Each structure stands twice: as structure tokens, then as C-alpha cells.
Amino acid sequence: MNKAIVFDLDGTLVDSAPDLMDAHNYVMQKYGYHEKQVSDIRHLAGRGAANMILSSLREEDKKFDANMHKKMTEEFINFYRENISKKSQIIKGVTEFLKWGKSHNINLAICTNKMEYLAKKLLKEMNLIQFFDYIAGADTFEYRKPDPRHLTNILEILDVKKENSIMVGDSETDSETARSAKINFVLVKGGYTEKDQKHIYHDHLINDFTEMQEIISKMKFLN
């Protein structure tokens, strides 16, 4: 019987906020706006370059238009692409858990709102890409999280039933996706969100991936 665990990427498997923040500050400084600390917009790190830049622009006491926002977003992505893994760190226990998952013949996949080519590049440079059977980014399908089809399409491709799958993520976007798809959801603490964990729907909660095998056992996922 096929089993699958589908993961979000940013804030779930990899703490990519420092490299995203560097790209943000590079663009903001270039265009004459204020730089920020990682803590200031960490909650936006998983929502894409356009949202991160737009949020910061709206806080500035200066006028901007859609064309400027588009140019800044493009420069953000270009800078980030070339510096995608300089400061990013793998979340504690991730590599060990992925190895464990493969040893138990579990299909492992990525469901991220990062562009697919950037997701693959980050995973490759973090030496994680070899663990995954499928990687779906923001542009892989015609829809993306929180649309549940971003997740269910992956399961269809892997030929895994919903009841034999788990989604793991760090934010309300991941939670809403899993809930709408009626798939068990494991929430990773301390992710890219402003919401308290109490206000994010989840079936199970972990501090890091050293706790995942115990969760799998409690869920009787491999039975």
C-alpha cells in the first residue's frame, strides 16, 4: 500500500529566511527604501517575493506603482536565485527523518509556493533533493496553496490515497490546504507565520523533526 508524506519547504524543512531577507534588503537599498531585520518580516518568508516586497513598500512613506513593484520583485528573485543557500539552514532532524522515510518506502514530496525551479535549486544545494519523489512549486499546476488541488494533484501523481498521506507544514496556508483536502496535518512550531499555534488547525504538533517518528507511530501510519 502506497504511503506519502508531503512537505512544505520554507520554514518547514529549511530555515530560508536569512537568504530571503538578504534579497529583500538588497532590493530595498537599491531603490532607496529601508532595510529590515529578519525578525521584522520572517512571517512573510513563505509567501513569495512579491508579497514580501509589497508589504515593505506599503510601510514606506513614499509613493510606488505596480511597475516599480514588478521590477523590484524581479530583482529580488534574480538576487535570491544566485544566493539561495548562503545562510539557509536545514531544520533540526530533517535529514535523518527523510532517510528514515525512504528506508520505509514512503513517498516523499514537496508542496511549496516557491517557484518550482527555485525549490529544486534550494533542495539541491542543501543536499536534500535526492529524497523526494515529486516536487511541486507555485507554477507547477494552475493553482497553488491554499487551493487543496496543489496537494491532491501530487497524491494523484504518486498514486496515493488521501487516507494514506500526511502533510507537514509551518503556517496557516499549509493548514488550510491540508484541511480542505481532508488530509492529516502536522504543524511545525516556530514557522513563517504571525499566528499562534493555537490558532492554526493541526492534527499533531512538533518542535522539530526529531519528534516525527513518534508522531508517525501514534498515527499508526505504517500499520
Strand, coil or helix: what is 108? strand
Contact 37, 74 (CB under 8 A): no
C-alpha cell at 217: 507511530
Contact 38, 199 (CB under 8 A): no
Give Cβ neighbours of residue 8 (< 8 Å, ≥ 6 apart).
46, 110, 111, 112, 145, 167, 168, 169, 170, 171, 174
- In whole angstroms, what is the distance from residue 15 CA to residue 160 CA? 28
C-alpha cell at 85: 543557500
Helices and strands in the chain: count of H runs, count of E runs: 9, 8
Q: Report the sign of the C-alpha dihedral through residues 67, 120, 2, 177, in that order.
A: negative
The single residue of 8, 19, 170, 174 carrying the catalytic annotation is 8
- Burial class, 199, CB count within 10 angstroms (exposed 0-12 / middle 13-18 / buried 19+): exposed
- Is 196 an active-site residue? no
Would you name the residues annotated as active-site residues? 8
